Amino acid sequence: MPKIVDHEKRKIKIAEATWKVIVDEGIENATVRKIAQACGLSVGALRHYFSSQTELLHFSMGLVSERVIERLKRRKISKDQISLEFLMEGVSEVLPINEERKREMEVWLAFSAKVLVDTKLRELSNKVYKDMHQGFENVVQALKLLNIIKDELDLDLEVNRLHAIVDGMAIHHLLNPEQFTHDKMIETLKYHLQSLCK
């Protein structure tokens, strides 16, 4: 069914153009008209793929988290190959460590601010929060499987803590890259994960 594939591919192209408009001009300027222009479509043609701006933003936001989750899934390896190093790299995948990830995070931050005033986006934001939280739970559980996590730790609270540290650092680096540099971010992450280990 090439037509359906094309339709989906085109939607992804439009979502990527949406990210670009959001990053370059701010989410308040991400109008249907501007996004159509950015992908060389008429407003009418764009409406064929997305009937409203909300639907378009919803899809674009969903694509950011899908990409992150896809990247993490691609890293799946057998249990006996898991190491602290491997988990560290996995967590880094959700930090703004390069231009691609920075763009994703910028789009995410713009969306997050919009979630506060747009209840339709909130549901998706909650779903992504849950997915990410599950990812951090997997990391903590893997440390346990490896039998390197300190016995006295409260694993539920460790998941909250890891999730908060990662998102907090991501925002600090994104907004203050000169003060909270890439190297400081990675060093702090390593320090945190090591502090959980025996």
CA-wise closest residue to 101 among 67, 74, 73: 67
| CB-nearer residue toward a copy of itself: 3 or 191 | 191
Note the Cα 141 to chain centre separation in Å.
21
| CB-nearer residue toward a copy of itself: 58 or 163 | 163
Name the DSSP class of 48: H
| CB-nearer residue toward a copy of itself: 7 or 130 | 130
List residues binding a copy of itself (CB under 8 A): 23-29, 106, 109-110, 112-118, 122, 125-126, 129-130, 133, 154, 157, 160-161, 163-169, 171-172, 174-176, 178-180, 184, 187-188, 191-192
Q: How far is the CB of 25 from a copy of itself (least distance, A)?
A: 6
Structure tokens, 122: 């909130």
Please list the alpha-helical segments (H only) found in 146-181: 155-175
Q: How far is the CB of 195 from a copy of itself (least distance, A)?
A: 8
| CB-nearer residue toward a copy of itself: 6 or 24 | 24
Distance of alpha carbon 110 from alpha carbon 131, whole angstroms: 19
Q: 3-class DSSP state for residue 197?
A: strand
